[in-house]
Amino acid sequence: MTATALEPVTVTSGAREENPWARAWRRLKRRKGAMVGLVIVVLFVLLAMFAPLIAPYDPTATSWSAVRKPPTWAHWLGTDEVGRDVLSRVIFGARASLSAGLVSVGIAVGVGVPVGLLAGYAGGWIDSVISRMVDAMLAIPFLILAITLAAFLGPSLSNAMIAIGVTATPVFVRLTRGQTISAKVEDYVEAARAVGNPRLRIALRHILPNIVSPLLVQASLAIAGAIIAEAALSFLGLGQQPPAPSWGSMLNSAQRFIAQAPWMAFWPGFAIFLAVLSFNLLGDGLRDALDPRHR
């Protein structure tokens, strides 16, 4: 009986582990609502970036021969009370609304994330002081606080951005604090602490990258809220100042002619609705795509 030689067994390694962001993008693509929201957001961004090339007319140019004209081939969305093209003003108004959303949320993230990281990681009296301040700010309704700050700073788009950013900061402080408290007891943080890493390095290199996902979701949802807040401030005369176009100020001008020229109110209102809906859809999709419990 001949002995059979044992052949070496080749163990093939499994498929390479998928990059977390590639996995999140793959999950996001399977969610039709999120992709629709992403496409609309990209379209609004392109409109805002290339507004001078896309808009058919100067958004501030008046024409007394075209006052409150309904939609025609010359003016696709009609004209307003002084003969300005509504389509051009809606396109340029996207600049104010998106700028307010992005800049104000950038302020909130830039201030709220470091403060929340400090409160959650340091703990003790630092956490107590920061948490009480955040609770006091969150006790005031969002729009009321934004209107108060904007009125104190003065009516302008830049001051409205600052007011909205300061008002949205407590949400990011609380979210970052909660995520930091959960992450700092994980094994990888304990291991980093055991090998002698300083606190600042642990917070920035080990904790912060692992709490980015919920912050991204909150940022996308906060942009939608900031767009509504900017429109409300401009409607009240505390945001973008006429004759510069803004969706909120366009609604303010249209309220006096809602019966005679309803298109003046419909199109900026529809633009606000569409922008807010798209960011909310994108935020919901990001929440599912970045959650490891979802497939």
Return the pLDDT at 105. Answer: 96
Query: For residue 62, what are the CA distances in angstroms to 65, 81, 85?
Result: 9, 9, 8
Length of the chain, in residues: 295
Return the pLDDT at 187. Answer: 87
pLDDT value at 11 more than 60: no
> What average pLDDT does the segment 288-293 reach?
74
Q: Output the pTM of the full model.
A: 0.88
> What average pLDDT does the segment 65-72 reach?
90
Q: Using pLDDT thresholds of 50, 70 and 90, give the confidence band for residue 220.
A: very high
Percent of the chain with pLDDT over 90: 65
Residue 119 and residue 130 in contact, taking contact as beta carbons nearer than 8 Å? yes
Please provide the average confidence, as pLDDT, over all residues in the chain: 89
pLDDT value at 51 more than 80: yes
Q: Using pLDDT thresholds of 50, 70 and 90, give the confidence band for residue 172.
A: very high
Residue 98 and residue 48 in contact, taking contact as beta carbons nearer than 8 Å? yes
Evaluate the CA torsion angle 265, 271, 274, 275 in order and state its sign. Answer: negative
> What average pLDDT does the segment 119-139 reach?
93
Q: Using pLDDT thresholds of 50, 70 and 90, give the confidence band for residue 167.
A: very high
pLDDT value at 1 more than 50: no
Look up residue 165 and give its two tokens: 């950013």
Of 8-12, 56-60, 160-164, 197-201, the least confident: 8-12
Show the 3-state SS of the chain: CCCCCCCCCCCCCCCCCCCHHHHHHHHHHCCHHHHHHHHHHHHHHHHHHCHHHHCCCCCCCCCHHHCCCCCCCCCCCCECCCCCEHHHHHHHHHHHHHHHHHHHHHHHHHHHHHHHHHHHHHCHHHHHHHHHHHHHHHCCCHHHHHHHHHHHHCCCHHHHHHHHHHHHHHHHHHHHHHHHHHHCCCHHHHHHHHCCCCHHHHHHHHHHHHHHHHHHHHHHHHHHHHHHHHHHHHHCCCCCCCCCCCHHHHHHHHHHHCCCCCHHHHHHHHHHHHHHHHHHHHHHHHHHHHCCCCC
Q: How far apart are CA 115 and CA 129, in angstroms?
A: 11
Return the pLDDT at 242. Answer: 85
